[in-house]
Every structure is written in C-alpha cells, then in structure tokens.
Chains A and B, each alone.
Chain A
Amino acid sequence: MSVNGPPVVKPRPVYLNLVRIRLPLPGIVSILHRISGVALFLFAIPLALFAMQASLESAAGFASMQSMFAHPLCKLVLVGLLWAYLHHFFAGIRYLLIDLHVGDDLTPARQSSVVVLVASLALTLIIAVRLW
C-alpha cells in the first residue's frame, strides 16, 4: 500500500440501493432463509395446526382436509410453503455445517449455496409435479 499520494476520497456515507445491489450467492441464500422463515411462521404453522386438528377429529375431517388440499389454489399455496420449508431446511443444514467449519472457505461456501438453491427448487418442482 502506498503511503504517498493524495488520499482517495470515497463518497460517504454509502447508501445501499436495495434495487441495484447485487448480492453474492451466499447472500441470496441468506436473505431467502429469512424470507422463507417468515413465510413458515406466518402461514405454515397456523395452517399445519388447523389441518392437524381437523384431520384427527374424524374420518370425515380427514377427508375434508384431503379435498381442501386437492383444490388447485390450495395446492399452489402448499407448493410455495413446501419450497419455503425445503429452502429453510437445506440452508439451515448448510449453516450447521459451516458452524462446524465444514466448507467455510470462500469457494466451497459458494458451491454449497448453489447446491441449497438448486436442491430446494428441484425437490419442490418434483413434488409439485407429483401433486398434480
């Protein structure tokens, strides 16, 4: 680093433009981890409790849950939440491994973030196709 010469003047403060910012892949996995977590909290937990209660009450309740989830709109919601669960699941396991210093260098961390994105999307797609 050169000590001489005029100091480099950087424009400060730096404002982050969320529309223009380009997140690296691990950053995308990270923000999707948050977004999927919020979706699971807001929608999946109450929906799961509701479905669990109705389906355990009686055979008729079980059948009514089956027909409810057979509705295309309901399936769409289910597929969305399925992706949220799978992404949160795989990204979470990635973080657990990084905590154990497995793959915490830059290159493997980038590779594993691709694996998380692709695996959760691919599995969601496969199950969605089987649902339809």
Chain B
Amino acid sequence: MNKIFAISSVVIKELYRRKDFYVLFILTALITLATWVMNFFHDDNIVRFIKEICLALIWISSLIIAITTAARQIPAERESRTIFPLLAKPISRWQVLLGKFFGCWLASGFALLVFYIFFALVSASREHSLSVPAYFEAFWLHWQMLGIVVAMTLLGSVSLSTPPANMTMVFIVTLGILSMGGFLHLVSERMSEPSASIVTAIYFIIPHLELFNISELIIHDWPIAPWLDVLALTGYGLLYSAFFLLAGCLVFRRKALN
C-alpha cells in the first residue's frame, strides 16, 4: 500500500500546485456569494432556488476537477515520459493505476469538502441553522459518486487515444446518466423490440450516479436519508469503482509504452 500512497501523494501535490482548483473554487465561491447577496426578500422559495443553483455549481465544479485531473494522469506521464523512471522501479502497472485513482479521488474529495464547507457556512449564516448530518450525507455520497467517475475516467485514459476525447466521453456519459439514468426503464416501456431490450439492459448495466445526488434533502430541509441506505450506496459505488479499475488495469497491463 505504501507504493500506492506514494503515487497518490504526488497526484495530490500536483493538484494543489496547479491553479485549476483555486480558479474553480474562487469562481464557485463568487457565484455562491453573489446569489446569496441577491436574496433581499428572504423568501423561502428563493432560498431553495439559490441553494439549488449553488449545489448545481458544486456538482459541476467537482466533476470538472475529478474528470480533468484523472484524464490527464496516465497520458501526461507518457507524454512527459515520467512513466519510464517510475516503472523502472519495483512497482507494477496496477499499483500505478491504483495510486492514480486514490490520488485523484482523495484530491477531488478534498476540493469537494472545501466547496461543501463553504456552502454550508454561507447558508447557515443566512438561515441561522445547519443540519450537519444532512450536509455530511450529501458530501459523502457525492464523493462516492466521484470515485466511480474517476475510475471510469482512468479506464478511458488508458483506452482512448487523447485526453480531450476521454474527457468529452466521460462528461457526456456522466451528465447523461445523471439526467436520464433513472428513467431509462420507463423509456424502454414505450419502445419496440429490440430497442426496448437494449435500453433495459443499459439501465441495469450503468452505474446509477443519480442515486448519489441527495441535494433535494438539503434544498428542502427534509429529514436525512437512512444511514443503512447510505452504507448500501457506498458499497454500490465502491463496487462500480472496483469494476472500472479492474478493467483499466487489464488494459494498461497490455499497453505498449514506447
């Protein structure tokens, strides 16, 4: 594990020494503050609407950080040829990939935590109340979802030819699942065969990322989700992450580097 965490620590160092995260954080923070300041009338509906906008911003920012960080890991190592001195050490390719995964996941988790803390503090300052368990659940599940996205992006980075192609593909797939993943089986009911079977099969195969989005609970101040459900979703997320990582390792193992 020491070797894997050594790789992860370099990924994390790279993220905080680059400007991407700071730019995104400042942008998100400015928009969040601006929308809250605009709420002069303290109308409940407007508060909900503003919360929804801020959470959507956090989702978009976190996806940008996770996907762009993960997509450039292996291609950048190959392009700058740092992969060669690295693999000349007693480390296998699966350890490199796993290290990259943990690095990206932890780094995007840290960025996510900063976003959520900022959002929680801003909303608490206006609403004079804060449900810490609700924010924790929202953050936790969001982070598990990022794990799947990071693993999926790493699989793409060892399979597809260029990082932009990979990023575009993962963005489309992720946004597609988030917006339509939960309705695919309903759509299939209105289709004829064989399309209906294909869409149903897709519904059962894809990771349902939309399940990890419990923003509504925060927006409407609803009671928190049962912890057992959160635990089950965590297991579900880890299972999909492991599947994508395994596929990534199999592809990367056979990949010619020179």
A is bound by B = no
Interface residue ranges, A against B (CB under 8 Å):
none
